[in-house]
Chain A
Amino acid sequence: MSPAKKSGAPASAKKAAPKTLPAMNRLEVRLAGSGGQGLLLAGLVLAEAAGLYDGREVAMVQSYGPEARGGASKAEVIVSDRPIDYPLCSKVDLLLALNQEAADTYAWDVDPSSWVVVDADLVEHPPTSRAVALPFTATARDKLKKIMVANVVALGAISQLTGVASLKSLEKALLARVPKGTEALNRKALSLGAKLAREQAVKEKPAQAVLSAADF
């Protein structure tokens, strides 16, 4: 009962993965919004980038309503250098909310040391003043003329902000997932997202919170 326990990225990825990736001890990412915003695809791409191309351990779960469009949609990705035990988020380190409902629903269990990244236009009332609000949807609509790549713009931004997956790996994972003929568009969306984050967001991660004494 042990053949499926080997780790390691594909041969092609091993070469590309920079050796200087910072160590990562269980980072929990929650991507939330409404159905149709591409959050499940974003979660998949993020998980594949971190897992297959950055060579870390990953787990991903998702939930969505019965609707083809609309309804709440959520993907959770855990990234770690160690094997992942609990596969759901227990202390979210990075919340990406692409609409108001998602921001309202999920901000409450995000702790003070976490990243909160929201869409600047679709989340009118960010849950906290330290939220990083970036115009993902507006950028996709105005600069790329394709509103559907807002999720990819957001991926570029969170990679730039948090390093949960390297941009290079994200690009590889993304291009392996998207339909043929859209590679250039997606590549551009990813780098635009990174640029947005570089230019408009505060670069520092919020200060680490002290562990609560209520912990065991």
Chain B
Amino acid sequence: MAKTPVNRARLLQGNEAIALGALAAGCDFFAGYPITPASEITEIMSRELPALGHPFIQMEDEIASIGCCLGASLAGRKAMTATSGPGFSLMQENLGYACIAEIPTVIVNVMRAGPSTGMPTNPGQGDVQQARWGTHGDHPAIVLCPASVGECFEVAVQCFNFAERFRTPVVLLSDEVVAHMREKVTLPAEGQVEVINRPRPLEPPDWYKPYKADGSQIPRLADLGQGYRYHVTGLVHDERGFPTRRADEVEPFYARLFNKISRNFTMLEMVKGVALEDAEILIIAYGCTARSAQAAVRLGRERGLKLGLLQLISLWPFPRRPVEEALAGKKLCLVPELNMGQISREVKRVNNGRTQVHRHSKMDGSMITPEELLARLRVLS
């Protein structure tokens, strides 16, 4: 593997592209615990980061892995960890801590069939709602989902940029097929990737209020060890970082926590459309299932069916506006997923009864095939 991505076509695995994307986005800390099907990311980072003079730590488990990343992030590092379902479950508590303490970090969850140990090398998409609601308490979430090796790279960069820009944990939700698939990609050369770094304080340490935000609603984050002493806690806190239960301080705190994400929905709602212009039947899909849907659109159109695909890249916040727009005027919408309908429920909510929306669920440890989708559409239409 080359040290830096160069502008030349290469055959890469999805997991390799995630690791390279993270490095291109400036990731300089990784702590993790290997697990199929995410191990390649840990393996590559264990080789690449030390070579660049940055720390890589293999932790004793996933709880420690994310804890380590949060500490490193507070000290100014751009930190990432990678895991699969069982490890992601262990990370939920600290994920909530990262939300409330507003610590930027990137968590890769390569989904496999679950729950529990499930099927370690079979694909699944059962963690979609877990990525949204896995940690307790109401909180905003940013979750991005790639469907190709090229998108793995782009989405990894995007995850870091969102984490840094919004001071929040971001989940990269991949799946076994996309993670292990190899495709030809041409990565952008070094310097061609937009990299965003967190805003750091402009005032001297004595004047620093760690959770006081300006109009952006996003407080500036000081690196630990630079003389800026402040309190970090999982309790609801005031502008100085100290616990508070005063309604007049709690209310603006929550408002800011949600507003910093919701006011940027346009940036966060990421989708790709395929043949939507004249489509009569719409498929909404994400991750590996979007690949089956792309093939179904191609095959269906060869047979005279006007199919279109809306591929969701951001799952959370749920891209309500693009979905609404795509649903408008369609006869029928099918939402294929490797779960019992975790995103189709969201589509139905947005659809609000205007179009027929059906789920197509599969949980046998294999991918949904294009022919299977066409057969289902033949029955429905």
Report if B127 contacts A (CB, 8 A): no
- Contact across chains for A8 and B369 when beta carbons are under 8 A apart: no
In the complex with contacts A86-B291, A216-B303, A62-B180 CB distance below 8 A: yes
| A4, B153: Cβ atoms closer than 8 Å | yes
User: In the complex, what residues of A have CB within 8 A of residue B11's CB?
Assistant: 44, 47-48, 51-52, 58, 60
**Is B270 engaged at the interface, CB distance under 8 Å to the other chain?**
yes
Question: Taking the complex as formed, is A72 at the interface, i.e. its CB lies under 8 A from any CB of chain B?
Answer: no
- A216 with B299: CB separation less than 8 A: yes
Q: Is the CB of A86 within 8 A of B294?
A: yes
Residues of A within 8 A of B367 (CB): 88
* Binary contact track A175-216/B, C-beta < 8 Å → 1, others 0: 000000000000000000000000000000000000000011
Question: B184 near A57 (CB under 8 angstroms)?
Answer: yes
Contact A1 B270 (CB under 8 A): yes
**Complex interface residues of chain A between 2 and 51 (CB less than 8 A to chain B):** 2-11, 44, 47-48, 51
Q: Flag if B292 contacts A61 (CB, 8 Å).
A: no
In angstroms, Cα B9 to Cα A1, docked, is 17
- Please judge, given known A-B contacts A4-B153, A52-B9, A85-B295, whether A90 and B369 are in contact too, CB under 8 Å: yes
Assembly CA distance A52 to B180 (angstroms): 19
Are A216 and B378 CB-contacts (below 8 A) given A3-B192, A60-B181, A84-B183? yes
Bound CA span A60–B149, Å: 11
B245 touches A (CB below 8 Å): no
- Residues of A near B192 (CB, < 8 A) are 3
Tell me the complex Cα distance, A8–B10, Å: 10
Question: A63 contacts the other chain (Cβ, under 8 Å)?
Answer: yes
Q: Chain A contacts of B177 at CB under 8 A?
A: 61, 87-88
Please tell me if B188 contacts chain A, counting CB pairs below 8 Å: yes
Report whether B375 and A87 are in contact in the complex, using a CB–CB cutoff of 8 Å: no
Is B34 interfacial (CB-CB < 8 Å)? no
Residues 146-199 of A contacting B (Cβ, < 8 Å): none
- Complex Cα distance A47/B291, Å? 19
Residue B150 lies at the interface, judged by CB distance under 8 Å to chain A: yes
B302 to chain A, nearest CB (A): 9
Q: What 0/1 readout, one digit per residue, does chain B (173-204) give for beta carbons within 8 Å of chain A?
A: 00001001111111110001100000000000
* Contacts known (A1-B154, A1-B313, A63-B121); A216 close to B182, Cβ less than 8 A: no
Q: Which of B182, B270, B291, B374 has its CB near the most chain A CB atoms (within 10 A)? A: B182
Contact across chains for A216 and B187 when beta carbons are under 8 A apart: no
Specify the chain B residue showing the minimal Cβ separation from A53. B9
A118 sits at the interface (CB 8 A): no
User: Once bound together, how far apart are the Cα atoms of A10 and B158, in whole Å?
Assistant: 27
Known pairs A8-B186, A51-B184, A85-B295; A90 contacts B9 (CB<8 A)? no
In this complex, what residue of B is CB-closest to A48? B11
Chain A positions within 8 Å of B154 at CB level? 1-4
A74 CA / B89 CA spacing, docked (Å)? 31
On whether A58 and B184 interact (CB within 8 A), knowing A47-B11, A52-B10, A216-B303, the answer reads yes
Q: How far apart sit A52 and B183, CA to CA, in the bound complex (Å)?
A: 10
**A216 to B374, Cβ gap below 8 A?**
yes
Q: Mark A62-96, 1 if CB is under 8 A from B, else 0.
A: 11000000000000000000001111101000000
Is B298 among interface residues, defined by CB-CB distance under 8 A? yes
Query: Taking A3-B192, A10-B8, A216-B305 as contacts, is the C-beta distance between A60 and B300 under 8 angstroms?
Result: no
Chain A residues near B153 (CB-CB < 8 A): 4
A58 to B149 CA separation, bound complex (whole angstroms)? 11
Closest Cβ of chain B to A104, distance in Å, is: 20
A117 at the interface (CB under 8 A from B): no
Q: Are A87 and B371 in contact (CB under 8 A)?
A: no
Contact A59 B181 (CB under 8 A): yes
Q: Point out the residues of chain B lying under 8 angstroms from A3, CB to CB.
A: 154, 187-188, 192-193
CB contact between B298 and one of A6, A11, A57, A85 (< 8 Å): that residue: A85
B370 close to chain A: CB less than 8 A: yes
A interface list, Cβ under 8 A from B: 1-11, 44, 47-48, 51-52, 57-63, 84-88, 90, 215-216
Smallest CB-CB A-B distances: 5 pairs: A85-B294, A86-B295, A4-B150, A3-B188, A51-B184
Between A and B, 23 residue pairs with Cβ closer than 8 Å are: A1-B158, A3-B187, A3-B188, A4-B154, A5-B186, A11-B8, A44-B182, A51-B9, A51-B184, A52-B10, A59-B183, A60-B182, A60-B183, A61-B180, A61-B181, A85-B294, A86-B294, A87-B177, A87-B181, A87-B183, A90-B369, A216-B371, A216-B378
Q: A58-B182, A86-B292 are in contact. List 17 more A-B contacts (CB 8 A).
A: A1-B313, A3-B187, A4-B185, A7-B9, A10-B8, A10-B9, A11-B8, A44-B182, A47-B182, A51-B184, A52-B10, A59-B183, A85-B297, A86-B369, A90-B295, A216-B303, A216-B374
